[in-house]
Amino acid sequence: MIPLGRARLPRVEGALPWLAAGSVALSLLMLAGLLSLLAVRGMGHFWPAPLTLVTLENGHQLAGQAVREDRLPSGARHERLYLTGNRDLDGAIWRWVAVDEIVAQSHPRDLVLLERTRWGTFQGRLLALEEATGRAEGEAAWAALQARLKEITLLREERDRLRDEVVVPLVRQLEQDPDAETELARVSARIRELQARITGGSLLLESVDGRRFEQPLEQVLNAWRPNAMSPPAKMAAWGRGVWRFLAEGPRVANSAGGVWPAIFGTVLMVLLMSVLVTPFGVLAGIYLNEVAHQGRLTHLVRIAVRNLAGVPSIVYGVFGLGVFVYGIGGSLDEWFFADQLPSPTFGTGGLLWASLTLALLTLPVVIVATEEGLARVPDNQREGALALGATRVEMLTRVVLPMTAPAMLTGVILAVARAAGEVAPLMLVGVAKLAPQVPVDGEFPYIHLERKFMHLGYHIYDVAFHGDDVQAALPLVYATALLLVLVILVLNLTAIFLRHHLRARHGARPRH
């Protein structure tokens, strides 16, 4: 007689593949939902949304972009949230309006949206453009404003290029080369000339409720008429907005502008961390599996390595602060940079110490992955190499390690994925709220490991929790989070393709 449990076994085995496939499908759906949420909320921020002119029962008018509509706790009425801008006029950029108080809504084509370096956005009407060469009104003012903004953008780019690429290196060369002062004076005169061409001119603006004021033209970055834009024009404006977000530095305490320094800092830190952790992790794995005597001590070391992978990351940050920054960095300052003290050079957080801390954090992952790869290499491969006259070193370097390379890269992939998203240890060992200049330039040694840097993960934390207006910062948080996911994905895919190449080259196949 067949036992009951054995009779049901085929049905359980038949259900397991479906359960596994369902789990994979659910995981993919959750991932797709997360990426869709980040993409819609983040990238949608750069789309020129229409401006609505709202007329209330009391005759008051306001212009803004409708954000959401909520029901009051009593449930008796609904309120709609509008992004109205005009912080310099109203003191706030948000306004809740009772839906039942709205008597009319329209979308006038002459409503203008200005992006400014101060006070955020302006939403209203453009009356005139005043410059030394004359005054333009109406549609002529709008056309003249578009041409002037293009010119100002080019002037700003040249000014910033001279300031970052010419002036800063010249200032650092003054102590060694007195002749640099002449060149510095010439470049400074050119910068003043460009600044004079940027300044001057003003806009006469009017809010929809009739308040007029003058806006200095140099503080205006962009101007749109969202209600008059065609879909191709909106798509072009969206593309320019995304590009500026990727290519420019932050502004207004990180609540506006781009994230280019954070992108560069994240990628550079991860690459430097990978260069540091890979050789040490691989050598440690080789020693534990191929060289060390397989006794109780080696077993305890393996347990310790696996336990290190579960230590909270903030503990590594404290260790990096005490050992790397204050210990090693402070000693380097005393030995080589005594003239700069008490201002520290290496005795403060920087790119090098952050990379070393994250290398230490991810070291157990690389060691374990390397050991597992070495254990999967058949012993007959080692014995065959030794039987053919190879030394033990040649056997390891020419036979075993090439076959283990895919497993090593798997460890590096896991290390990159974890290191790129870590924030807590970086807050102690080098990340900065604002570091607009990347730690790479044309001055020797080109990569400045002692400098602080920006990081996408910390940028998300700072914008979300340290900003003055969380509601306004949410789209930038979504966009930066999507960018961080994409950066990690690109880094991982690069390592995956390299792993596939090595696996195909050395004939290793994954076991199923």
pLDDT score for 185: 85
| 231 pLDDT above the threshold of 60 | yes
> Percent of the chain beyond pLDDT 70?
94
Query: pLDDT band for position 198 (50/70/90)?
Result: confident
Q: Is 271 helix (H, G, I), strand (E, B) or coil?
A: helix
Using CA atoms, how far apart are residues 85 and 261, in angstroms rounded to an integer?
27
CA 370 to chain centre: 30
Q: With helix as H, strand as E and coil as C, how does 63-80 read?
A: EEEEEEEEECCCCCCEEE
Residue 397's alpha-carbon distances to 48, 196, 384, 437, 503, in angstroms, are: 58, 64, 14, 42, 16
> How far is the C-alpha of 344 from the C-alpha of 105, rounded, in Å?
60
Rounded Cα distance, 454 and 430, in Å: 9
| 3-class SS letters over 297-350 | HHHHHHHHHHHHCCCCHHHHHHHHHHHHHHHHHHHHHHHHCHHHCCCCCCCCCC
What span, in angstroms and rounded, lies between the C-alpha atoms of 387 and 317? 48
Asked if 357 and 324 count as a contact pair (C-beta separation under 8 A), the reply is yes
Average pLDDT over residues 1-20: 61
In this prediction, residue 1 carries a pLDDT of 44
Residue whose C-alpha is closest to residue 269's, from 362, 332, 348: 362
- Packing angle of the helix pair 260-286, 456-466 (nearest 10 deg): 130
Closest to 63 (Cα-Cα) out of 84, 89, 87, 47:
84
- The answer to whether 487 and 266 have CB atoms below 8 angstroms apart is yes
Q: How many CB atoms lie within 10 A of CB 132?
A: 6
List the chain domain ranges: 260-506
73-87, 305-319, 391-405, 451-465: least confidently modelled range: 73-87
pLDDT, average across residues 464-477: 81
Model confidence at 304: pLDDT above 50: yes
Per residue in 24-47, pLDDT (tens digit) is: 999 999 989 988 999 998 888 888
Residue 349 CB partners (closer than 8 Å, separation 6+): 321, 325, 428, 429, 430, 431, 452
Residue 367 near residue 277, CB atoms below 8 Å:
no
Whole-number Å distance between alpha carbons of 226 and 115: 13
Residue 343's φ and ψ, nearest 5 degrees, are -75, 120
Residues 6+ apart with CB under 8 A from 479: 38, 41, 42, 43, 45, 46, 245
pLDDT of residue 507: 56
Residues 374-406: tens digit of each pLDDT = 888 888 888 888 888 888 888 888 888 888 888
3-state class (DSSP) for residue 122: strand
- The correct answer on CATH 3.30.450.40 for the domain covering 260-506 is no
In the predicted model, what is the mean pLDDT of the chain?
86
pLDDT for 215 beyond 50: yes
pLDDT at 272 over 80: yes
- The DSSP call for residue 101 is G
For residues 283-303, give the mean pLDDT. Answer: 89
Instruction: Please name the residues in contact with 279: beta carbons below 8 A apart, sequence gap of 6 or more.
Output: none
pLDDT at 175: 67
Rounded alpha-carbon distances, angstroms, from residue 425 to 276, 314, 458: 17, 5, 10
How far is the C-alpha of 103 from the C-alpha of 114, rounded, in Å?
A: 27
When pLDDT is averaged across residues 133-153 and rounded to a whole number, the result is 89
What average pLDDT does the segment 404-433 reach? Answer: 87
pLDDT in tens, 321-368: 999 999 999 898 888 888 878 888 888 888 999 999 999 999 999 999
Q: What is the pLDDT of residue 75?
A: 63
- Among the ranges 178-187, 254-263, 278-287, 379-388, which has the highest mean pLDDT value? 278-287
Give me the pLDDT at residue 328, please. 92
Residues 162-176, mean pLDDT to the nearest whole number: 77
351-376 and 296-308 helices cross at what angle (nearest 10)? Answer: 130
Q: Are strands 256-257 and 134-137 parallel, antiparallel or unpaired?
A: unpaired
Instruction: Please tell me the pTM assigned to this model.
Output: 0.85
Does the pLDDT at position 2 exceed 50? Answer: no
Q: What is the DSSP letter of 400?
A: I
Q: What is the pLDDT of residues 103-125, one digit of tens each?
A: 999 999 999 999 998 888 899 99
- Phi, psi of 3, deg, nearest 5: -60, 155
Q: Please tell me the distance from the alpha carbon of residue 27 to that of residue 9, in angstroms, as a whole number.
A: 27
pLDDT at 256: 75
Mean pLDDT, rounded, for 62-84: 83
Alpha helices in 379-447 (DSSP H): 379-387, 392-395, 401-421, 426-429
Minimal CA–CA distance to 309: which of 364, 355, 360, 367? 364
Question: Would the pLDDT of 53 be above 80?
Answer: yes
Quick check: 291 pLDDT over 90?
no
Which pLDDT belongs to residue 339? 80
Please report the pLDDT score of residue 5 as a whole number: 45
Q: Which of 100, 97, 73 is nearest to 83 (CA)?
A: 97
Lowest mean pLDDT of 68-77, 211-220, 295-304, name the range: 68-77
- 149 burial level (CB within 10 Å; 0-12, 13-18, 19+): middle
